[in-house]
Structure 1
């Protein structure tokens, strides 16, 4: 019974959040895309990365990207790692409109939770995202900081100034400190996603 109530609350929350966009300059899909490109690392700021994040088709993601490019909120560059791929970056105009993000107040409310509550909440939502697909579970996006592929090394004695001590073992790429909190499409939880353990109620 409680599980059904939780689902009802999630649906109510989703409807409330969608209602926040009524009369807004951007559609919900455009807002999701802008939030994604504002937080994703360079490797993930691609058309396929957005499609994976939104659980939609490449065609639908392409239409969203083109509309944001046309509005001047996104710009396209050739990937330095793969000339066949494009990387998308938010423009100054895009960052400006992000200041009016209709979900900013939700982030503020979530930040009022203490760290233990936040981690519990995050892990529950990640578990749902990973398993809601049934036979084809999705790999939830996350940040490099708590990814299984992150390797932290000791700084080498006599190494060049500013040498990164963070390495992505999957891509064999060094990461800057600022990149550790970016979303990545290849995220894998450092601890395997499992059904969160039952805990005492939060008081």
Structure 2
């Protein structure tokens, strides 16, 4: 299989997995917003971060986000770190329909792959994504577990390592390590005890 055939398969897979028509009364663009805010970390839950992640304009992103706020799927909350800024978070109504996200068919397909193939496939797609983003001058997104900004201290008394972000100078909770971040800089992937990513790599 040549490189063009691989690219066509990746593109087609993404299109059919995003769904056609309305599901739960939401468009593909609205599902993309809910999906993003479900996985974004606390530093990346803003309209501008979503626009950057999906390579769309801020105006387009804001319109889609506003429609979801009106329907009760998103709400605005003051940032935990900076009370002057606002974060967008999913409501219980939004979390209640995420199981019906058409994207879940792609998740199930990935889950059906053998663990060793999942790791190789993820690495290959990450390389492709990084190259495309670089060629187009787009900012790459990723998680703390493979970011240069991640700092890890020695284990504490309860044998749990503590983590922090060098970029934001903020401590990180274990459950935050797998959230998508706008401040991501590709680095060496780390396996961390107790993290979602670490569990998948073992």
TM-score of the aligned structures, taking structure 2 as reference length: 0.83
Corresponding position of 2:6: 6
* 162-171 vs 72-81, which moves further: 162-171
Change (3 A) 1:69 1:162: farther
Q: Distance in 2 between matches of 1:149 and 1:81?
A: 18
Change (3 A) 1:75 1:138: same
2:131 matched to 1:131? yes
Q: Kindly report the root-mean-square deviation, in angstroms, between the aligned alpha carbons of the 2 structures.
A: 2.3
* 163-172 vs 33-42, which moves further: 163-172
Q: Which runs of 5+ in 2 are unaligned?
A: 190-202
Change (3 A) 1:85 1:21: farther
Q: Distance in 2 between matches of 1:184 and 1:133?
A: 15
* 83-92 vs 36-45, which moves further: 83-92
Corresponding position of 1:50: 50
Q: Is the 8 A contact 1:78 1:87 kept in 2?
A: yes
Residue by residue over 1:31-82, the C-alpha shift from the partner in whole angstroms, topping out at 9 and shown as x without a partner, is 1110110111111001111011111111111111101101100000122333
Corresponding position of 1:191: 188
- For residues 19-38 of structure 1, the aligned pairs below 5 Å read 20-24=19-23, 25-38=25-38
Q: Which runs of 5+ in 1 are unaligned?
A: 193-203
Q: Is the 8 A contact 2:133 2:139 kept in 1?
A: no
Q: Is the 8 A contact 1:131 1:138 kept in 2?
A: no
- For residues 99-138 of structure 1, the aligned pairs below 5 Å read 99-133=99-133, 135-138=135-138
- For residues 144-155 of structure 1, the aligned pairs below 5 Å read 144-155=144-155
* 145-154 vs 50-59, which moves further: 145-154
Q: Is the 8 A contact 2:73 2:91 kept in 1?
A: yes
Number of residues paired by the alignment? 188
